[in-house]
């Protein structure tokens, strides 16, 4: 339903395993635990890395320098601390965390050139240079010789972490004279708005740690041929760069062992995406695995390490189910005898009905086969009749011809 409802169940111990955003999860200890018993509390991998996706179809968001001005005005530290309850850390335009083993592939020169920190004065300076100034004195910047700048960020109502991130973003933009409206809605409406491109910004985050390293993340966010969630085709940002697509193809064909080539390819890629910035980088944090120990123990933690998982469709879910056990009891085992299945009375007659239906279908099949055979015999008979008729017609034709010949001869003799 929403984070609040989910979190109330966790707090009461009525939900064993949760992936809902739970602020200040440490306050629920010791009845509720996570991977770490200290910051950052949640899972150690950067499963939720992202920021604000920009709609490049809209002016002036399609101006690269304008997007960079926006980035300088975002307080990533405050968003990480308040919106994500100390679980997240700010991320730079490489989208690779500074403590990541993948950091060796980062083009630090490009990050130095295109990276940013929270500096609203720098943002104001860039906007002034671009000609976006408050020309009518109402406190809001105007487009050159145009109306006030006003943008909309769309977010799912009830996704409280994203909602707070959007509210902080709104205040950050207000501080530099840009008006932003936050529109919260149900998930289907949000998904529809994003897919139709009816937005200026939307929060977005993706898994920046998988068997491919960060390649999968880059494809989702920057490869024009791969849709990013919640899209079914294309990018919600509208971003297209053939050079990026080409580099991603080259990375995909390069063995992970060839680090020199990967460093060169990733270096070129990061230089481009840091400059273009269709997704403004803001935060990175781990997957949410929140475990109640009211009934079950053996959950994956830093002290009991095995692959953790958010409840859902992940293969690691099976490892969690195998390792947990009832509190104070033995680990669950497979039953030695089949469990008795209670069949509702209305379903008890189904087997006999299925048998009756099977018999009826078999009879129909036999009838269809017999009819098919009759049709085949009739077709053969028709063919014989057709041949006979052709012969009769031919004989009659020949007879007529002979009569005509006889008549001609007789007439000539007269």
Local structure of residue 110 (DSSP, 8 states): H
Contact 202, 116 (CB under 8 A): no
**Pairing, β 201-206 against β 48-54:** antiparallel
Q: Regarding predicted confidence, which is higher, 93 or 379?
A: 93
Please, which pLDDT band fits residue 212 given cuts at 50, 70 and 90?
A: confident
Burial call 268-289: b when 16+ CB within 10 Å, e when fewer: bbbbbbbebbbbbbbbbbbbbb
Q: Yes or no: is domain 1-44+286-334 CATH 3.40.190.10? A: yes
Q: How far is CA 190 from the centre of its chain?
A: 14
What is the H or E stretch that residue 292 is in? strand 290-292
Share of the chain above pLDDT 70, in %: 91
Please, which pLDDT band fits residue 367 given cuts at 50, 70 and 90?
A: confident
Determine the 3-state secondary structure of 52 from DSSP.
Answer: strand
The confidence score (pLDDT) of residue 11 equals 85
Q: Which of 193, 251, 188, 187 is nearest to 217 (CA)?
A: 251
Using a CB cutoff of 8 Å and minimum separation of 24, what contacts does 258-262 make? Answer: 259/104, 259/105, 262/105
| Residue 212, CA distances (Å) to 207, 257, 281 in order | 11, 12, 20
Is pLDDT of 291 > 60? yes
Q: What is the pTM of this model?
A: 0.76
Q: Which of 44, 42, 38 is nearest to 22 (CA)?
A: 42
Per residue in 325-343, pLDDT tens? 998 766 656 656 665 666 6
Q: Regarding predicted confidence, which is higher, 154 or 376?
A: 154
Name the CATH superfamily for 47-284. Answer: Dipeptide-binding Protein; Domain 3 (3.10.105.10)
The confidence score (pLDDT) of residue 5 equals 84
What is the H or E stretch that residue 152 is in? strand 150-156
Per residue in 244-257, pLDDT tens? 999 999 999 999 99
Is pLDDT of 414 > 60? no
């Amino acid at each position: 339903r929403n984070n609040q409802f989910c979190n109330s169940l966790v707090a009461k111990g009525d939900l064993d395993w949760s992936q809902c955003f739970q602020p200040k999860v440490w306050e629920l200890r010791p009845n509720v635990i996570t991977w770490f018993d200290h910051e950052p509390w949640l899972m150690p991998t950067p499963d939720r890395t992202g920021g604000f996706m920009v709609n490049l179809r809209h002016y002036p968001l399609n101006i690269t320098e304008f997007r960079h001005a926006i980035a300088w005005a975002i307080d990533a530290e405050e968003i990480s601390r308040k919106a994500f309850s100390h679980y997240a850390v700010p991320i730079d335009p490489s989208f690779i965390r500074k403590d990541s083993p993948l950091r060796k592939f980062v083009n630090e020169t490009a990050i130095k050139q295109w990276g940013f920190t929270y500096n609203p004065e720098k943002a104001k300076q860039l906007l002034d240079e671009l000609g976006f100034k408050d020309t009518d004195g109402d406190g809001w910047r105007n487009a050159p010789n145009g109306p006030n700048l006003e943008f909309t960020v769309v977010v799912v109502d009830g996704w409280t972490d994203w909602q707070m991130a959007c509210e902080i973003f709104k205040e950050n933009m207000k501080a530099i004279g840009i008006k932003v409206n936050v529109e919260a809605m149900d998930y289907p409406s949000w998904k529809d708005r994003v897919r139709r491109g009816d937005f200026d910004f939307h929060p977005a985050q993706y898994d920046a740690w998988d068997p491919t390293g960060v390649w999968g993340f880059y494809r989702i966010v920057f490869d024009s041929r791969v849709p990013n969630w919640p899209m079914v085709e294309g990018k919600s940002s509208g971003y297209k760069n053939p050079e990026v697509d080409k580099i991603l193809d080259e990375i995909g064909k390069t063995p992970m062992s060839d680090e020199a080539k990967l460093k060169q390819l990733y270096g070129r890629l990061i230089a481009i995406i840091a400059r273009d910035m269709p997704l403004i980088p803001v935060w990175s944090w781990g997957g949410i695995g929140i475990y109640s120990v009211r009934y079950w123990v053996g959950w994956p933690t830093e002290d009991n390490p095995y692959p953790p998982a958010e409840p859902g469709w992940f293969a690691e879910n099976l490892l969690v189910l195998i390792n947990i056990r009832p509190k104070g009891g033995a680990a669950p085992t497979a039953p030695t005898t089949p469990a008795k299945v209670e069949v509702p009375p209305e379903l008890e007659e189904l087997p006999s009905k299925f048998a009756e239906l099977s018999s009826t279908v078999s009879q129909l099949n036999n009838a269809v086969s017999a009819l098919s055979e009759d049709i085949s015999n009739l077709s053969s008979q028709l063919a014989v009749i057709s041949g006979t008729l052709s012969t009769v017609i031919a004989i009659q034709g020949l007879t007529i011809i002979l009569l005509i010949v006889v008549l001609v001869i007789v007439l000539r003799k007269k």
